[in-house]
Structure 1
């Protein structure tokens, strides 16, 4: 059985809010995701497939996911 941490990692991305400057609108338009602001961070939540696709999109747009 998969651990909760692994499942959570495959269904969300946590980033500084500023990381989405200039790409948030396109991100929300292209993918079925929820983007929730939490103070100075944003939590992007979606299915494992959408999170993978969104991660690839963000990386191609210069957003550091590490």
Structure 2
């Protein structure tokens, strides 16, 4: 049985709330993600494939992820 934290890591990205200022619109248009605002940060939730693609997209734009 897979470890729940491993599954969670493959289906979500957590970034500071100011990290998406310039790329939020592009994320909404290009990826099938749910973007949740949660007290000082955003939680991006999606399928493992979309999370992997979005992670690469964010990295190319200089968004640091914890």
Q: TM-score range by the shorter chain?
A: over 0.9
Matches of 2:16 and 2:64 in 1, distance apart?
10
Write out the 4+ residue segments of structure 1 that deviate beyond 6 Å after TM superposition: none
Q: TM-score, normalised by structure 2?
A: 0.96
Unpaired runs of 5+ residues, structure 1, are: none
Equivalenced residue count is 66
After TM superposition, give the deviation of residue 21 of structure 1 in Å.
0.9
The equivalent of 2:45 in structure 1 is 45
Structure 2 portions without partners, runs of 5+: none
Higher relative contact order, structure no. (Cα contacts within 8 Å, ≥ 6 residues apart): 2
